[in-house]
Amino acid sequence: MGKIIAITNRKGGCGKSVTAASLGVGLARQGKKTLIIDTDNQHSLTISMGISEPDKLPITLSTVIADIIAEKEIDPTAGIIHHAEGVDIMPANNSLTGIECTLAPLYSRETILRQYIEIVKPLYDYILLDTCPTLDLLTINALAAANSAIIPVTPKYLDAKGLELLLKSIAQIKKFINPSLTVCGILLTMVDKRTNFTKEIIDIIHTAYGNNIRIFKDHIPHSIRAAESSATGKSIFTHDPNGKVAAAYASLTGEVLEVA
């Protein structure tokens, strides 16, 4: 049965979508059947994977969530798009914005996404959940459905401080909603090791959390190539296969295969 990993952080601009796409393709390159679900109403992952007009798609995540709520029968393959690099995507579009209001009055509001994932899970080895940069109901749904969470963090002071709040939120979700939830690890992203300040922040993160939480060995370096890949609809492995970002995400894929 598939392993479910949420890629999450309450801070924007830390590389969640790039990480979800790169790890998803990395796992597919290792022969793992992998689905990436875009749970962010800004649908950055969907766009970055080459789906340029998601609002024209007949079926997206909001469609299947609405069907779950209405207790309709779900085709596990409906709406899933196969990317040329071997990974599957459940896309999002603007209609996901209204799902919060639909979920809010429901008794099962934190577990609707889990119900959908239980339907598609037998088809995959890994399911990755790209989340939005807030702890909204969809992010809570993602963490309620996940076995583990990967936390991308840029080595900036406020981002490092925000880790404490995020980890408290994950602990609360583990306590009250999803007892099996664990933190797979902290992934340092957009790292520029040329500055002493960056090194200091990395040391702070290691000192504060390294004894209790895995910090992935290879940091994702700052590179314009990663931003370019999102605009091409291709992963970093295709856009810049010999670059340092591709090498770092290949290393991350290997670690995830070992521990998650």
pLDDT at 13: 82
Q: What is the pLDDT of residue 248?
A: 96
Banded model confidence at residue 101, pLDDT cuts 50, 70, 90: confident
CB burial of 58-83 (b: ≥16 within 10 Å; e: otherwise) equals eebbbbbbebbbeeeebeeeebbbeb
Q: Print the domain residue range for 144.
A: 3-259
| pLDDT tens, position by position, 121-160 | 999 999 999 999 888 999 999 999 999 999 999 988 888 8
Q: Please enumerate in sequence order all residues whose Cβ is within 8 A of that of 197, keeping only pairs 6 or more positions apart, or say none.
A: none
Q: How many domains does the chain have?
A: 1
State the average pLDDT for the chain: 94
Q: The domain spanning residue 151 has which CATH number?
A: 3.40.50.300
Between strands 148-153 and 126-130, the pairing is unpaired
- Look at the pTM and tell me if it is higher than 0.75: yes
What does the pLDDT look like over 212-221, one tens digit per residue? 999 999 899 9
Give me the residues paired with residue 89 across strands: 36, 81
Q: Please report the pLDDT score of residue 122 as a whole number.
A: 96
Q: Report the alpha-carbon distance of residue 224 to residue 183 in Å, rounded.
A: 29
Whether residue 198 has pLDDT greater than 80:
yes
